[in-house]
């Protein structure tokens, strides 16, 4: 267990309801994706799915770093698209908001393609949506070159019908898309991807290798792979980050019930991956990072309950702040003896070796065995409250958003998205000399005042 | 002597400024930030609600506290303008019986909870606790039921709403 005494306990905000509850309409919101504007980190956008009463998607925005949320208008659906799902959001370095969604139509229903839209006015209006991928693209993810100034290249990664993770990019906001390239080896059987883009065009794609000999939809993650683009834009190298992944029980991987991809985040000098792993006897959240100069660090257990406690921690969200702080949030059932009610825990680290004490972000636990507000048919599956948590890292605070069933009752269906912030004192982007210099100046000043008063002549 | 004191104070102030100003960065975006949603603080006591006089339409966040000594459970209903009283609606004498917009979990004494709802302008709403006590009488019958109508109001009223609170009387 790494020592955690050096890392302070963050201050946790009140939980904020992100989506409106409507039990009468049996509204079910979930599957959040969140991003903070790099030009104004008080502005945060959160896209989410709506599973009922009619399927669809929504966009909520915040002007106070996620302390409160209001609804924003979604882009107009393209002709032939009846509803949207599977959303992702990202900002470029100039503050342009990109929204990616999969369109559906028909009674079946059938996917019509993956669409990209953008907003230059903080989600007040959106440009026309462009179809960027075909209907057979599953688990599509979005990342934007974060170079300051904006107009960054938009990168896409998805799981093709052939079972291969593909990637492409667009330099004009989705009007045209490059020829897709294979990110995973066609010989591998893989899960859906996670994606990061770095300033200047570097792209990393992470996915689980499900093992080539397994057949059928029961294939389970066996190893964690990262593919990195080379100078030509193709994925010249694939690296097995962890070859000893032990999938949580009954974690379905493919064929209509996509396994959660690993969580991935990258900064200028570090790439990190977090995922659910049962190698220590029950589902835990593990993290591995690689700095520019070295190889992948050994896997670290982020949750700080007793190893093999029997309580599940799973489906992490991950982000890296500009200050280098690594933020991890995850579902956590440690406080429920029946292992069904879950909370949301948070921890941070600066070196991927030592983690802060876990703190709960939610005050009110909720039933994790509900999916879409209804009892899950896979009640033993970790992550049955949706495809994980969404995390956005600011300089001094981390924002996490999650699918939450606290408003659900046996008689009345309800599923919402809630969020909370973990604020860290003394973790702002001030230069390293500022704090000691300020403290020294204050101490000198105080000492001077004391000397001055001591030497001052006493008036008779 | 006084000059030395002023000089020392200036040095101290400069030190504090150097630590605080170094972390600020001015945003350079033209579009305004989204507004905050309206917030309504509701206190559940034994057996009444304390809540703002005016509840606006649109996105409203309810922050609910149980300040009583027994558990309570807030439910929020939207009712039609049908002339039937809120109490009768909740006794299901109306057809169809009212279904809540929100049905919070039971709040024990000192517990808190929060939820958001989208309220329509000039809508008729009812807050009630329908939790049944050990004697078989529910909280609403003891007075924990209150009807309100949403209003579109100027900002000044919304700011005052937090200050102007009501204690409801029994409608049962």
Following DSSP, what letter does each residue of A40-101 receive, concatenated? -TT-EEEEEEEEESS-EEEEEEESSTTSS-EEEPPPPPPTT--EEEEEEEEE-TT--EEEEE
Find tokens 């593909």 and name the residue: A166
Residue of A nearest to B30 (CA): A121
Residues B147-159: what's their mean pLDDT? 68
pLDDT in tens, B59-82: 999 999 999 999 999 999 998 888
Q: How confident is the model at residue A399 (pLDDT cuts 50, 70, 90)?
A: very high
Name which of A250-259, B49-58, B102-111 the model is least confident about. Answer: A250-259
Pairing outcome for strands B165-167 and B49-52: antiparallel
Opening angle at CA A277, ends A343 and A46, nearest 5:
50
Q: How confident is the model at residue A388 (pLDDT cuts 50, 70, 90)?
A: low
pLDDT in tens, A109-165: 899 999 999 999 999 999 999 999 999 999 999 999 988 876 779 999 999 999 899
**Residue A455 structure tokens:** 């030497």
Does pLDDT of A445 surpass 90? no
Question: Is B64 an 8 Å CB contact of chain A?
Answer: no
Please name the member of A121, A364, A446 whose beta carbon is closest to the beta carbon of B113.
A364
Q: How confident is the model at residue A220 (pLDDT cuts 50, 70, 90)?
A: confident
Q: Do B29 and A37 touch (CB under 8 A)?
A: yes
pLDDT of residue A68: 97
Give chain B positions within 8 Å (CB) of A40: 27, 29, 33
Q: Do A445 and B115 touch (CB under 8 A)?
A: no
Q: Give rounded-to-5 percent helix, strand, coil for chain A.
A: 5, 40, 55
Does pLDDT of A237 surpass 70? yes
Q: Which of A5, A2, A33 is nearest to A399 (CA)?
A: A33
Question: Is B116 an 8 Å CB contact of chain A?
Answer: yes
Q: How confident is the model at residue A57 (pLDDT cuts 50, 70, 90)?
A: very high
Residues A46-67: what's their mean pLDDT? 91
Q: Do B105 and A364 touch (CB under 8 A)?
A: yes
Quick one: DSSP state of residue A429? S
pLDDT in tens, A293-338: 888 999 999 999 999 988 889 889 999 999 999 999 999 989 877 7
Domain ranges for chain B, please list them. Answer: 38-167
Find tokens 């939450």 and name the residue: A404
Q: What is the DSSP string of A115-140?
A: EEEEESSTTSS-PPPEEEE-TT-EEE
Q: Do B34 and A43 touch (CB under 8 A)?
A: yes
Distance from CA of A188 to the nearest CA of B (A): 45
Give chain B positions within 8 Å (CB) of A444: 11
How many CA atoms, within 13 angstroms, populate the side-chain half-sphere of residue B111? 17
Choose between A391 and B3: higher pLDDT. A391
**Residue A95 structure tokens:** 């503050």
Give chain B positions within 8 Å (CB) of A122: 29, 31-34
- Report d(CA A168, CA A146) in Å as an integer: 17
Q: How confident is the model at residue A380 (pLDDT cuts 50, 70, 90)?
A: very low
pLDDT in tens, A204-216: 999 999 876 554 5
Q: Do B117 and A440 touch (CB under 8 A)?
A: no
Opening angle at CA A147, ends A196 and A154, nearest 5:
50
Q: Which of B73, B84, B51 is nearest to B150 (CA)?
A: B51
Does pLDDT of B25 surpass 60? no
Q: Do A20 and B116 touch (CB under 8 A)?
A: yes
Q: Which of A409, A305, A403, A436 is nearest to A46 (CA)?
A: A403
Q: Which of B118, B165, B170, B161 is nearest to B141 (CA)?
A: B170
Distance from CA of B98 to the nearest CA of A (A): 9
How many Cβ pairs closer than 8 A exist between chain A and B? 148
Considering the domain B38-167, what is its CATH architecture?
Sandwich (2.60)
Choose between A25 and A103: higher pLDDT. A103
| Partners of A194 in beta bridges | A206
Please name the member of A63, A431, A445 whose beta carbon is closest to the beta carbon of B15.
A445
| b/e per residue A225-250 (b: at least 16 CB within 10 A) | bbbbbeeeeebeebeebbeebbbbee
The strands making up A83-91's β-sheet, listed across from edge to edge, are A83-91, A97-105, A110-119, A130-133
Please name the member of B1, B25, B33 whose beta carbon is closest to the beta carbon of A63.
B33
pLDDT of residue A214: 52
> What's the N-to-C CA distance of chain A in angstroms?
65
pLDDT of residue A3: 42
Name residues whose C-beta falls within 8 Å of residue A225's C-beta, 6 or more positions apart in sequence. Answer: A184, A188, A190, A206, A207, A208, A209, A238, A239, A240, A241
Does pLDDT of A28 surpass 70? yes
- Report d(CA A182, CA A163) in Å as an integer: 11
Q: Do B18 and A434 touch (CB under 8 A)?
A: yes
Q: Which of A16, A438, A439, A447 to mutate to test the interface with B (most CBs of B within 10 A)?
A: A438
Does pLDDT of B158 surpass 90? no
Choose between B55 and B20: higher pLDDT. B55
Find tokens 């949580």 and name the residue: A248
Give chain B positions within 8 Å (CB) of A36: none
C-alpha B4 chain-centroid distance: 53
**Residue B160 structure tokens:** 């005052």
Quick one: DSSP state of residue B9? H
Does pLDDT of B37 surpass 70? yes
Q: Beta strands of A243-396 (E only): which ranges?
A: 263-266, 270-277, 284-291, 300-301, 313-320, 326-332, 341-349, 359-360, 366-367, 370-371, 374-375, 390-393
Please name the member of A124, A395, A448 whose beta carbon is closest to the beta carbon of B8.
A448
CB A343 within 8 A of CB A360: yes
Q: Where are the alpha helices (DSSP H) in A322-433?
A: none
Given this structure, which CATH class describes domain A11-433? mainly beta
Q: Which of A138, A186, A132 is nearest to A155 (CA)?
A: A132
ipTM above 0.85, yes or no: no
Backbone angles phi, psi at A313, to 5 degrees: -125, 135
Give chain A positions within 8 Å (CB) of B32: 63, 122
Answer positive or negative: Cα dihedral of B114, B117, B121, B125: negative
pLDDT of residue A411: 73
CB B164 within 8 A of CB B52: yes
Most confident residue range from A43-57, A70-84, A253-267, B7-21: A70-84
């Amino acid at each position: 267990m790494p020592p955690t005494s050096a890392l302070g306990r963050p201050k946790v905000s009140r939980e904020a309801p992100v989506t409106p509850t409507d039990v009468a309409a049996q509204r079910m919101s979930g599957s959040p994706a969140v991003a903070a504007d790099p030009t104004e980190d008080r502005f945060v956008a959160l896209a989410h799915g709506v599973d009922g009463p009619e399927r669809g998607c929504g966009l909520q925005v915040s002007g106070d770093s996620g302390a409160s949320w209001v609804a924003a208008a979604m882009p107009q659906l393209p002709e032939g698209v009846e509803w949207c799902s599977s959303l992702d959001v990202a900002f470029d370095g100039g503050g342009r908001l990109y929204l990616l969604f999969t369109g559906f139509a028909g009674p079946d229903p059938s996917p019509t393609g993956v669409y990209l839209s953008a907003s230059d006015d903080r989600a007040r209006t959106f440009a026309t949506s462009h179809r960027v991928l075909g209907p057979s693209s599953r688990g599509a993810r979005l990342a934007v070159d974060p170079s300051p100034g904006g107009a960054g290249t938009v990168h896409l990664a998805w799981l093709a019908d052939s079972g291969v993770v593909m990637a492409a990019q667009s330099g004009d906001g989705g009007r045209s898309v490059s020829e897709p390239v294979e990110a995973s080896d066609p010989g591998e059987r893989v899960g859906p991807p996670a994606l990061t883009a770095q300033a200047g065009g570097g792209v990393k794609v992470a996915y689980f290798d499900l093992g080539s000999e397994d057949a059928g939809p029961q294939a389970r993650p066996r190893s964690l792979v990262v593919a990195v683009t080379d100078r030509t834009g193709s994925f010249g190298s694939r690296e097995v980050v962890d070859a000893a992944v032990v999938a949580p029980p009954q974690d379905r991987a493919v064929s209509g019930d996509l396994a959660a991809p690993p969580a991935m985040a990258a900064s200028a000098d570090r790439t990190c991956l977090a995922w659910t792993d049962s190698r220590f006897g029950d589902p835990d959240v593990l993290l591995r990072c690689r700095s520019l100069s070295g190889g992948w660090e050994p896997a670290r257990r982020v949750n700080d309950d007793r190893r093999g406690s029997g309580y599940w921690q799973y489906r992490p969200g991950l982000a890296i702040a500009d200050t280098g702080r690594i933020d991890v949030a995850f579902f956590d059932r440690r406080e429920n003896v029946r292992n069904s009610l879950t909370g949301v825990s948070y921890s941070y680290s600066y070196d991927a070796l030592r983690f802060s004490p876990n703190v709960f972000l939610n005050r009110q636990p909720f039933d994790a065995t509900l999916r879409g507000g209804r009892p899950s048919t896979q009640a033993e599956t970790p992550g049955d409250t949706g495809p994980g948590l969404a995390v956005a890292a600011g300089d001094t605070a981390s924002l996490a958003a999650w699918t939450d069933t606290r408003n659900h009752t046996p008689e009345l269906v309800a599923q919402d998205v809630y969020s909370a912030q973990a604020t860290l004192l003394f973790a702002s982007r001030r230069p390293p000399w500022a704090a000691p210099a300020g403290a020294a100046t204050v101490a000198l000043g105080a000492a001077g005042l004391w000397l001055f008063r001591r030497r001052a002549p006493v008036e008779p | 002597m006084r000059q030395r004191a002023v000089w020392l104070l200036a040095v101290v102030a400069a030190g504090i400024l150097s630590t605080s100003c170094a972390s600020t960065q001015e945003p350079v975006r033209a579009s305004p930030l989204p507004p905050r949603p309206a917030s309504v603080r509701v206190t559940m006591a034994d057996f009444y609600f304390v809540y703002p006089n005016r509840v606006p339409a649109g996105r409203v966040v309810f922050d609910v506290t149980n300040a009583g000594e027994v558990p309570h459970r807030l439910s929020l209903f939207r009712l039609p303008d049908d002339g039937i009283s809120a109490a009768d609606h909740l006794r299901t004498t109306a057809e169809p019986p009212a279904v809540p917009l929100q049905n919070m979990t039971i709040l024990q004494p000192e517990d808190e909870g929060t939820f958001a709802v989208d309220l329509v302008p000039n809508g008729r709403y009812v807050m009630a606790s329908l939790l049944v006590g050990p004697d078989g009488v529910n909280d609403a019958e003891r007075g924990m039921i209150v009807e309100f109508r949403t209003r579109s109001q100027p900002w000044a009223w919304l700011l005052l709403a937090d200050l102007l609170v009501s204690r409801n009387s029994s409608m049962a």
